[in-house]
């Protein structure tokens, strides 16, 4: 079984992010990268969860993952009922938006299976329309080679010249699809 968890990360109001993004004199850094390294923070919190469970049920086998292995975290979280994958391919939680990290505990515990959440994107295409590089090529389909988050963080080479004007003032990641998503007005 897999225990899937989410941790909110939005640390400033959305209006502040939008103002910073739309000010060409500012260098924009994605909201998730503005705090402490989430890999270590969420991993530590999941480890603490294991340490709280152990005295209650006894020894069990487990392994914690936070972007540390080829784990399909978004589909797993969707199956666990933490939200649905939006047209921008990020997970959306109806009450808590999509400004959160995911982490998993793989375990041999015989846990009950949760129910998946239904999709609530409907006919909305705000995330698709707002993507500056048109990386969301169709609903639920992302071309990572065009995604500013990939180009400014993961891309091992130079950013293609044709993409540079589209990036604007974004120097580390991109939040445009999250800022446009109507479900994110519920962000905490």
37 given a catalytic annotation:
no
Within 10 A of 137 (CB to CB), how many other CB atoms are there? 12
Strand partners, 104: 4, 65
Distances (CA, A) of 12 to 9, 58, 81, 127, 176: 9, 40, 26, 20, 15
Closest-CA residue to 43 (of 100, 101, 117, 83): 101
DSSP string, 32-68: GGSSS-HHHHHHHHHHHHHHHHHHHH----EEEESSS
Out of 37, 67, 175, 176, the active site residue is: 67
81 touches 114 (CB < 8 A): yes
Which residues carry out catalysis?
Answer: 67
């Amino acid at each position: 079984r897999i225990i899937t968890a989410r941790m909110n990360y939005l640390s400033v109001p959305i209006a502040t992010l939008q103002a910073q993004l739309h000010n060409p004199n500012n260098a924009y850094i994605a909201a998730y990268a503005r705090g402490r390294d989430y890999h270590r923070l969420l991993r530590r919190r999941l480890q603490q969860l294991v340490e709280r469970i152990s005295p209650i049920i006894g020894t069990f086998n487990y392994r914690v993952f936070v972007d540390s292995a080829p784990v399909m975290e978004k589909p797993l979280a969707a199956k666990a009922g933490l939200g649905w994958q939006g047209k921008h391919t990020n997970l959306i939680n109806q009450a808590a938006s999509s400004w959160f990290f995911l982490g998993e505990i793989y375990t041999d515990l015989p846990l009950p299976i949760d129910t998946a959440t239904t999709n609530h994107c409907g006919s909305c295409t705000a995330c698709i329309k707002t993507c500056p590089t048109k990386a969301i090529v169709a609903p639920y389909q992302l071309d990572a080679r065009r995604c500013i988050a990939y180009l400014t963080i993961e891309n091992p080479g130079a950013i293609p010249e044709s993409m540079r004007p589209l990036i604007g003032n974004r120097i580390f990641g991109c939040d445009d699809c999250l800022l446009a998503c109507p479900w994110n007005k519920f962000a905490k």
